[in-house]
Amino acid sequence: MRKGGKLLPKKPLTITPEAGDAADALWERLNTVAPDKYRVGVGLKQIGKEYTDQLALFVHVREKKSLSEVPEPERVPPEFSGYITDVVQVQPTLLQDETRYDPLRGGIQIMREPIPADLALAPASGTWGAMVRNRKTGVLQGLTCAHVVDQIGLKVFQASYVPASPEGNLVGTVSDLRDQVGPVFLDCAVLDLTGPRSALTTVEGIGPIQGVSTAVPNPGEMVKKRGARTLLTDGFFVRARRSLGTSPSYDQYDITGGVPFVTVFAGPGDSGSVILNGNNEVIALLHAAPFIDLPDGLSSHGCAMPIHNVQESLQIDIAT
């Protein structure tokens, strides 16, 4: 097993173009007889609760059935185009965490105060990713995404904004943010702590943060995050996008869930989560999902900014 990883192969595997073509061909075969019923992907063969070192074509089903219960044209062969196959049952369930936490810590739900642009709708929630320290003042602050809190000066609440008694959930005020597409993509913000609640330098469900890693991860490296919407999920780093400027060289990391295109990694409300490696070092800040490909508006993938870019732009350091 790789250091820091559970139930993973000894080394990353390569998803070749040929494997992708084979998955497309399997999907076309199944879609011909059962339109829009199945999803297919490429990833690690799973036996029980362990991933193996074999690359397989996955068929995502809501419910596994015995062979006799599956119509013959819809049966998945043991092998297809030279690849073993795997039928995976996945039933994503919305588990949004609306718990009020005291002390505060990373990985929990926050919501800004309403603004006129919201009209009659409640503000969207996001995630308080981690505690950081301001390099100039040394003061402890909260880290999230700029689009979660919208603008400097707004009040932020945990777990949510309650119109009848908003001050009871007040935890911070937006003190700085960066929201730009280029030359380096940024979508990050910090909050000054207000209110009586103290703060921990931990992430809910993960534990203490062990610093940061600013090196670009290796494709196939295990990562994890804890967001308010999909809670604790793990996956793999798959690619790094080049920035439009000369420095830093990269401004976005793409993450896939543990079983590519099958298992949940993120959903709306997870923006602001920190991405950690197997050593519990922060490597990035989740800001989006590249597409919604799973039920309940969830995604098997995530997009994140390298933590180096976030720290340098806001002049902060992840607190430990």
| Residue 194 scores a pLDDT above 70 | yes
Higher pLDDT, 10 or 288: 288
**What percent of the chain lies above the pLDDT cut of 90?**
57
pLDDT of the residue at 92: 52
CATH 3.30.950.10 fits 91-320, yes or no: no
Which one, of 150, 143, 128, 168, lies nearest residue 310 by Cα? Answer: 143
pLDDT of the residue at 276: 98
pLDDT of the residue at 129: 98
Question: Tell me: the pLDDT tens digits for 60-105?
Answer: 787 888 889 999 999 999 999 999 999 887 655 445 788 999 999 9
Instruction: Round the average pLDDT of the chain to a whole number and report it.
Output: 88
If one counts every other C-beta atom within 10 angstroms of the C-beta of residue 179, the result is 14
For the chain, the structural domain boundaries read: 17-89, 91-320
pLDDT of the residue at 273: 98
Token representation of residue 81: 């185009």
pLDDT of the residue at 95: 54
Residues 6+ apart with CB under 8 A from 279: 3, 4, 210, 213
Question: Tell me: the pLDDT tens digits for 261-300?
Answer: 789 999 999 999 999 999 999 999 999 998 888 888 999 9
| Residue 118 scores a pLDDT above 90 | no
Do the beta carbons of residue 284 and residue 272 sit within 8 Å?
no
Which one, of 148, 138, 209, 204, lies nearest residue 179 by Cα? Answer: 148
